[in-house]
Amino acid sequence: MIKRGRVNKKKMSYHINITSMMDMMTIILVFLLKNYSSDPTTLTNVDNLVLPNSISKKPPKEVHLQIAVTNDMILVDDQPISPTNDVRRIPQENPDPEIPKLKEKLEYCYAQEEEMVKMGALNKIRGKVVVQLDKNIEFDVLYKVMHTCGKVGFNNMNFAVMEREG
């Protein structure tokens, strides 16, 4: 066997310069944050909801409160509020065809906006709502939802539609 001599191992210290890597990570972080926050009109997809087609190309400016009306359920910000069949049973000739559970939720959301105005986070109460409505929903249901929104104070309503191709 060959015997090797002792190798004098000196303690070697390495200095890693991570400045360029930190610059790269900062740029990626800023890029991702910008892309994530640049589209305030992100609407959440609701199961069993087919939006009507439109030739409108104007996107909604901001989404504050979302109401989705499907064949099965009425949702506010993805929280189930009332079955649509219960809304259909409210008589049309009723002088005040409001949806009680929807009114309760909207009053809570309106109170939150009022609180934000008091704290200075908002200049004024916006009263904006985006309504996503299945294209097969009857007008009576739409009327009752709009009436309830208007009665609470959400008078600035936008409707979500799909852009028609060509």
Could you report the per-residue pLDDT of 100-119, keeping only the tens digit for each? 899 999 999 899 888 888 88
pLDDT digits (tens, 9 = 90+) for 33-42: 777 655 555 5
Average pLDDT, the chain: 80
pLDDT digits (tens, 9 = 90+) for 55-75: 777 776 677 788 989 888 999
In angstroms, the CA 8 to CA 10 distance is 6
In angstroms, the CA 7 to CA 10 distance is 9
pLDDT of residue 6: 60
Q: Comparing C-alpha atoms, which of 127, 74, 130 is closest to residue 102?
A: 74
Instruction: Give the CA distances from residue 30 to residues 21, 25, 91, in Å, rounded to whole numbers and listed in that order.
Output: 14, 9, 53
Q: Which residue type occupies 123?
A: N
